[in-house]
Structure 1
Amino acid sequence: MTSVAPEKDKSKVHKLSLKGSAKLVAEFFQYSIHTILFQRGVYPAEDFTAVKKYGLNMLVSSDDQVRAYIKKIMTQLDKWMVGGKVSKLVIVITDKDTGEHVERWQFDVQILAKPKSKSSSKSKPSTTSGGADQENAPSHADSENSRAAAAPPAPAADKTEAEIQAEIAAIFRQITASVTFLPQLPGGHGGCTFNVLVYVDDAETVEVPVEWGDSDAKEIANGERVQLRGFSTHCHRVDTLVSYRLAD
């Protein structure tokens, strides 16, 4: 006997607008930064508080300086996401003593329903720096990383809001589980700092705040790479990759 899968209840399908999808992706990035800082021990566990999100207990920083830094990032990221400008967000963890990049979390953004643009698509990273003491100044270095304009991929199939939330929750579970294979960060709590890089399309036409600057890609030299889960809405797809330096 053949069983027939039940059809999806169309009344529950959540077809986000481009703006709504952009805000959902930006919010995912915000929680990703907090989660990585906690799970990787960049800051002590007592500096985080639990909130309920995506059906999970998420840990977010309660440190005023860290929260202010992330808020500054998100204020600008929200605008770029709604404008369809963001192609990638990267979180780089760096050894304070040596300046060596030891871990790099990369979130690639595909825009499935992109606003019309008259400019050719070029992508380069902008950064504003962060750390335990927030002493780093924004870096200003031209990036050689660019990409040619390409036809956008086809829109994703319609999904319910619950399906989208479940995909996002699965990513956070995988980030949490990554501590089983990622090397311990050097120096313990306070031994590393972090930077957030945002790659924007049409870089020559994008207005960048003065506290942000161009950056190199901050790649991990001879690092291992692990592809993690992704999620999609009708308008966006986000894929996750972590690179890390092998332990000595």
Structure 2
Amino acid sequence: MALNTGTLDATRVTIPGSVAQIIDYLKYAINGILFHRGVYPSEDFLVEKRFGLNLLLTVNDSVEDYIESTLIRLKEWISQGRVSHVVVVLIDEDDGHTIERWVFDISVRVVATTLSENDLIREMNAVMKDIITPTFLPSIETPMVFNILTYAKDDVDIPDGWEATHPHSVIDGEHDTLKAFNSLHHTLGLSVVYRDEEQ
């Protein structure tokens, strides 16, 4: 597991529901990236109906444990206003170069957004469609591994097994911004930097 530390100025968040929405979104987003970008085979996933969509969750025990343990730590840190962004990197298993870098930028709004349950479902439906149907991304033929990077304040307690790492930048990558997700008190911007071998 990896931890990147950096500077962050954020307002302390006291709305547990907003943080829970973020964690829910990240869980499905990370799983969606792993499935739709071919990091793991389709038999490693099961379909779950959420937000009016057929979303996928891994049944690979080690991957599930890694994601869940990361999200547990993120829930604590985001509720304390200690995380600026979360990054999912897809890495070429053969040469170690980063193929894609999915960046979730977390910002806190001073004034909460009013969201009904239906509003939240529509919001999640729209942002997940960007992740599960990324038509602009090139196909990937090489075997991959992934890592989750967390950019947090310097004084966070680093869990056992986590370590500082480099940012896994994509050299000469293309950049696209996707639809942001809005929870009660947060906005999660999403962008992806990717290597386009066809150009």
TM-score, normalising length: structure 1: 0.71
What is the aligned partner in structure 2 of residue 33 from structure 1?
A: 30
Cα distance in structure 2, aligned partners of 1:65 and 1:159:
35
- Residue 58 of structure 2 is aligned to residue 61 of structure 1: yes
Structure ranking higher on relative contact order (CA contacts 8 Å, 6+ apart): 2
Q: Tell me the residue number matched to 1:169.
A: 125
Structure 2 matches for 1:64-103, cutoff 5 A? Answer: 64-103=61-100
Q: Which residue of 2 aligns with 1:108?
A: 105
SS of match in other structure, 2:169: coil
Q: Distance in 2 between matches of 1:181 and 1:234?
A: 30
Counterparts of 2:34 and 2:54 in 1: how far apart (Å)?
15
Q: Provide the residue aligned with 1:134 in structure 2.
A: none
Question: Are 2:147 and 1:195 aligned?
Answer: yes
Higher deviation after alignment, 226-235 or 87-96: 226-235
Tell me which residue corresponds to 1:210.
160
Say whether the 8 Å CA contact 1:49–1:61 is kept in structure 2: yes
Report what 2:170 is aligned to.
220
Q: Is the 8 A contact 2:173 2:194 kept in 1?
A: yes
1:169-222, Cα deviation, whole Å (9 max, x unpaired)? 1111111220x22112232xxx1000000111x32x211102111122111111
Distance (Å, rounded) in 2 between the aligned partners of 1:234 and 1:181:
30
Contact 2:120 2:183 in 1 (8 A): yes
Partners in 1 of 2:41 and 2:51 — Cα distance? 23
Identity, in percent, stands at 34
- Flag the structure with higher strand content: 2
Unpaired stretches in structure 1, ≥5 consecutive residues: 1-15, 114-154
CA distance in 2, matches of 1:109, 1:219: 19
For structure 2, which runs of at least 5 residues remain unmatched after alignment?
1-12
* Equivalence for 1:181: 136
1:66 positional shift: 1.0
Contact 1:220 1:243 in 2 (8 A): yes
Question: Quick one: distance in 2 between partners of 1:174 and 1:18?
Answer: 27
**CA RMSD after TM alignment:** 1.6
Deviations 1:48-88 (A, max 9, x none): 10112222111111111111111221121111122121110
Tell me which amino acid in the other structure corresponds to 1:183: P
Larger Rg: 1
Report the number of matched residues: 186
| CA displacement at 1:156 relative to structure 2 | 4.7
2:45 pairs with 1:48: yes
For 1:159, the equivalent position in structure 2 comes to 115
Q: Is the 8 A contact 1:17 1:235 kept in 2?
A: no
Length-normalised TM-score, structure 2 = 0.88
Alpha-carbon distance in structure 1 between the residues aligned to 2:112 and 2:172: 34
SS state of the match for residue 133, structure 2?
helix
How far off its partner does 1:89 sit? 0.7
